[in-house]
Structure 1
Amino acid sequence: MEKLPAKTGWIWIKEGFALFRKQPAEISTLFLAYMFLMLALNIIPLLGQLLPLILVPVFAMSFMQACVNIEQGKRVYPNLLLIGFRSPALKNLLILGSLYLVAAVIAVAASVLIDGGVFWMTVTGQSALDAKEIQDSSMSLAMLFSAAVYTPAAMAFWYAAPLIMWKNMSVSKAIFYSFFAVSREMKAFAVYGLAWAAIGVLLPALISVVIAVLIGNASVTIMILLPLSIALTVVMYCSFYPTYTHIFGKPEADLPPPQPQATTTTE
């Protein structure tokens, strides 16, 4: 199989927008239900801080399946949030989520080497730092360092959940295939990441400037940017699906072929 051209990264985003446009209200409702559930989990002492990260692969498959439904002309309902919990692959998805947590902790802990623990204390809530302390520290550089440390894990996890659920791979095999699939298509992923960075930063900034010039009301800016941010986040979730299908094919191809029905003959 030939490597995908770099422009494929932009095609993934366009296909994500196309999926979103077909059922914008439905998939946005799914996302809001997911966010509400994450906030509800935070009520649980200690576990409420860990479960949202551990459950990422389980809920990620809800959005992947939502994209399959949209593609097949089926309605997306909030009960898709439970599809991962009903899957035989649930145990492996939870193991994968635990690895997410471990990788995140290691990446954030590594930032201590850069800023002496300011970023770590901020993330873990060990101390309330004021703006001046943060400004005087190297926290921005520490955040970039943590992101760099986490990058290999992100590559290993990118396709792991759908490979576990749709191709019945073990956790270790899915992580292996995911890492090398992303490594192979680094040009496409570079375009994909840079394009999303531009969309996520430049578009809201441009809208803010336009509103400031025309209206000059901060409340109006917030009223417009909040739904825009939600919509862009949902589109980004939708764009994860084509990154999978362009490399591993449509998930329905992974399902066993239908069994032939018995026919009866009359003499």
Structure 2
Amino acid sequence: MEKLPASTGWQWVKQGFGLFRKQPGGLSMLFLGYMFCMLAVSIVPLLGQLLPVILVPVFSVAFVQGCLNIDLGKRVLPSLLISGFRKPAFPVLLGLGVLYILTAIVAIGASTLVDGGVLWQLATGQLNPQTSPDVIRESNVGMAILTTIVLYVPAAMAFCFAAPLIYWKQTGLGKALFFSFFAVWRSLSAFVVFASTWFAISVVTSQLLFLIVGRTPMAVQLMMPLSMILTVIMHCSFYAAYRQIFGVPVDESKAVSLDKPND
């Protein structure tokens, strides 16, 4: 894995916009299908709060596979949503989703040492910020959030490329986390620029929207499709990063057809 310059992070963002421009309708429909699936699993009794998080890695491969389809000149279809449910990747991706939750619990749990558990109560719904503003104001919740972020960053580096590595390279969970972490670490400056650029895009677009239509109910309604489009483009940018670091993935359908003997 080659060490990349900081400017590469900006190039990934540009490439993400380029990929989206090629098939905006297909990628948007894929995201709407994803949202519908998440809404459906959230109503499952008992597991409704956990399943949407556990299934994030499973569904996330649909977006990178969609970007690969664009690279190969294929259409992006909603049927790609089942990509992550295929064996042998599915159980490993499911394990990755469980690890998402466990890592978040550890990071937020550690913040209780800083603010006495206020952030934990907010995250679990035990504390309502509208009814208990004084409790939040008097706590050290800001430092607790910072502590949680600092603790979660190494895990986020390991999670970054784990799902596509499991899906395309068919690696085990530990190996995928290892290669993902060091891929980000070796080009950390590029990922800092990548994350900073996306943060700036999010802030600037939201502020421009408020400037044009004001802080009205219409602005809230427009924010939803805008957020959807930016989320899809961010997935495309993430694929661009994977493509440069690990190479263009092999198209499984072509690989299967090449392996079949001629009749």
Provide TM-score, normalisation by structure 1.
0.90
Q: CA deviation at 1:256?
A: 5.0
Give CA deviations for 1:187-210 in whole Å, capped at 9, x if unaligned: 100100110110111221133123
Q: Percent of counterpart pairs with the same letter?
A: 51
Could you tell me which residue of structure 2 aligns to residue 170 of structure 1?
Answer: 172
Q: Could you tell me which amino acid in structure 1 is paired with residue 6 of structure 2?
A: A
Q: Could you tell me which amino acid in structure 1 is paired with residue 237 of structure 2?
A: S
Could you tell me which residue of structure 1 aligns to residue 6 of structure 2?
Answer: 6
Q: How does 1:36-47 map to 2 (within 5 A)?
A: 36-47=36-47
Evaluate the alpha carbon distance shift between residue 173 and residue 79 of structure 1 in structure 2; reply closer, same or farther with a 3 A threshold. same
Q: In the alignment, is residue 114 of structure 1 matched against residue 139 of structure 2?
A: no
Contact kept, 8 Å, 1:112 with 1:118, in 2: the verdict is: yes
Please, which of 210, 220, 223 is the counterpart of residue 222 of structure 1? 220
Q: How does 1:51-62 map to 2 (within 5 A)?
A: 51-62=51-62
Query: More deviation in 98-107 or 44-53?
Result: 44-53
Q: Could you tell me which amino acid in structure 2 is paired with residue 244 of structure 1?
A: Y
Q: Could you tell me which amino acid in structure 1 is paired with residue 204 of structure 2?
A: L
Q: How many residues align?
A: 259
Q: In the alignment, is residue 28 of structure 1 matched against residue 24 of structure 2?
A: no
Q: Distance in 1 between matches of 2:251 and 2:26?
A: 25
Q: Could you tell me which amino acid in structure 2 is paired with residue 64 of structure 1?
A: V
Q: Distance in 1 between matches of 2:2 and 2:35?
A: 38
Q: Distance in 2 between matches of 1:128 and 1:86?
A: 40
SS at match of 2:148: helix
Q: Distance in 1 between matches of 2:25 and 2:142?
A: 36
Q: CA deviation at 1:87?
A: 3.4
Unpaired segments of 5 or more residues in structure 2? none
Could you tell me which residue of structure 1 aligns to residue 249 of structure 2?
Answer: 251
Could you tell me which residue of structure 2 aligns to residue 184 of structure 1?
Answer: 186
Evaluate the alpha carbon distance shift between residue 136 and residue 14 of structure 1 in structure 2; reply closer, same or farther with a 3 A threshold. same
Q: CA deviation at 1:137?
A: 2.2
Please, which of 200, 216, 230 is the counterpart of residue 198 of structure 1? 200
Could you tell me which residue of structure 2 aligns to residue 143 of structure 1?
Answer: 145
RMSD: 2.0
Q: CA deviation at 1:84?
A: 0.7
Q: CA deviation at 1:140?
A: 2.6
Evaluate the alpha carbon distance shift between residue 253 and residue 224 of structure 1 in structure 2; reply closer, same or farther with a 3 A threshold. closer
Contact kept, 8 Å, 1:87 with 1:165, in 2: the verdict is: no
Provide TM-score, normalisation by structure 2.
0.91
SS at match of 2:99: helix
SS at match of 2:3: coil
Q: Distance in 2 between matches of 1:45 and 1:127?
A: 23
Could you tell me which residue of structure 2 aligns to residue 161 of structure 1?
Answer: 163
Could you tell me which residue of structure 2 aligns to residue 241 of structure 1?
Answer: 239
Q: Could you tell me which amino acid in structure 2 is paired with residue 194 of structure 1?
A: S
Query: More deviation in 154-163 or 30-39?
Result: 30-39
Q: CA deviation at 1:150?
A: 0.7
Q: In the alignment, is residue 104 of structure 1 matched against residue 114 of structure 2?
A: no
Q: CA deviation at 1:260?
A: 8.1
Evaluate the alpha carbon distance shift between residue 59 and residue 253 of structure 1 in structure 2; reply closer, same or farther with a 3 A threshold. closer
Q: Distance in 2 between matches of 1:13 and 1:123?
A: 31
Ranges of 4+ aligned residues in structure 1 off by more than 6 Å? none
Give CA deviations for 1:52-98 in whole Å, capped at 9, x if unaligned: 11111111111111111122221112121111112321111111111
Contact kept, 8 Å, 1:92 with 1:171, in 2: the verdict is: yes
